Amino acid sequence: MFLYVNPRFIALITASIFKSRLVAGNSAPPGSMLPSLEAQTLPPSTPNLATHGAISSFIVVTAPASSIPSSVPPGLTTSPSAVAPIATMSLPSSLNQNQVQSFGYKKDYGHELGSVTVHNHCAETLYLASVGAHPLGGYKDKTTGYGTAADEIQHHIFPGGSYTEPYRFTCPIPVNETEGTYKWAEDKLSGQGVSMKVSRTSNKSDITQIEWALLMNPKRNDKFYRLDYDISLLNCADPAASPAVFKVNLPPPTPTESGKPAPTPTIPYNPEWRNLSQLTDALATPEDHQFKIQACPGYQGGIKVSFPNNTVQSNCTAIDCKGKMTCLDIYTFDRTRVGEASMACDAEYRGDMVVDLCADRMNKTGSVR
């Protein structure tokens, strides 16, 4: 629906030009943003602070050791709160060693627009990890990975309890780029939305994903921060991981890159089974859907997504899936299809997005709502 970046999520953020719903994408608090004190190598594209005229909370400088004063000049007093953290990074030879580098100087004011609240109406404790769109704390690439400590935080939501976090911006992929890369101004990976992974255990197996992104996407000419969102059941009761349960034949393995023969399938072809590609939202049987109900956290009794401050202008489409039959408003088996199960508000929305898990228990004793 790593730093794990869900490619489906990024693809829709990149390509959507009309009201679509995020086909996407696999982050803790700003306090974990401190840059590493280990030496890092910055790419030639590292920005010069003088070119953007902004000052970051974290300034990265390079200077000969001899030029660093060993004591505070007379008359100057300091306090812990007044001293900015400083990290020394080794710069490429193509950069002037006196240049001042910075990151994260573009303000993220998503919290001023609202929050996401998840209510647990289920009879069991759920775990939630909010992954993606967190500050990275300095330059990252595919080699270093885009993971953050915030991605790994597990929030416990007890029966009748709730979890709330403020919106945070997704950094858009520029029009002239096709994939996500590190962006200095935002200190984020472009194109990466948020995936709130809900599971029954701390190992994140069989997860229900609440996916959203608040972004101004130049590829659809956005003039405001638009909220995209979807619900994904793709990573719980996955037919590709449990072919015998769903009675599907997997595609034949492909040869390895070294040219060696493809590995022998662990489950032989069964002529009485469907091919995996034939198990879609439209063709799924009630039995197929029952496996999803059993395995997907928070789906027992359905899932609802609502917008209490919705207006005619913002027109954020609500989601109300009962959990009794396949619901075309969420991703269940199809990773992409005509009539994507990804939503987007028509205009700027100021207010909360509310997600109710096990929604049919909302009015029962002990429920949060």
Residue 75 counted as domain residue: no
Residue 100 counted as domain residue: no
Q: Which domain holds residue 306?
A: 7-30+111-239+279-361
DSSP state of 218: G
Distance CA 352, CA 277 (A): 37
Tokens of 14: 């990149």
Give the CA distances from residue 72 to residues 61, 67, 172, in Å, rounded to whole numbers and listed in that order: 18, 13, 42
Task: Tell me the whole-structure pTM to 2 decimals.
Answer: 0.73
Give the CA distances from residue 359 to residues 90, 305, 317, 324, 363, in Å, rounded to whole numbers and listed in that order: 53, 10, 17, 12, 9
Number of domains comprising the chain: 1
Residue 234 counted as domain residue: yes
Q: What is the CATH number of the domain that holds 160?
A: 2.60.110
Give the CA distances from residue 48 to residues 36, 61, 287, 289, in Å, rounded to whole numbers and listed in that order: 20, 11, 59, 54
Task: Say what the pLDDT of residue 258 is.
Answer: 66
For every one of its 369 residues, what pLDDT tens digit does the chain have, with 9 covering 90 and above? Answer: 434 445 454 444 444 433 433 333 334 333 333 333 333 444 544 444 333 333 233 333 333 344 434 444 444 333 333 333 434 344 444 344 444 468 999 999 999 999 999 999 999 999 999 999 999 999 999 999 999 999 999 999 999 999 999 999 999 999 999 999 999 999 999 999 999 999 999 888 899 999 999 999 999 999 999 999 999 999 999 999 999 999 999 998 777 666 677 666 778 899 999 999 999 999 999 999 999 999 999 999 999 999 999 999 999 999 999 999 889 999 999 988 878 899 999 999 999 999 999 999 987 745 555
- Buried b or exposed e, range 33-44, using 16+ CB within 10 angstroms: bebeeeebebee
Residue 252 counted as domain residue: no
Residue 303 counted as domain residue: yes
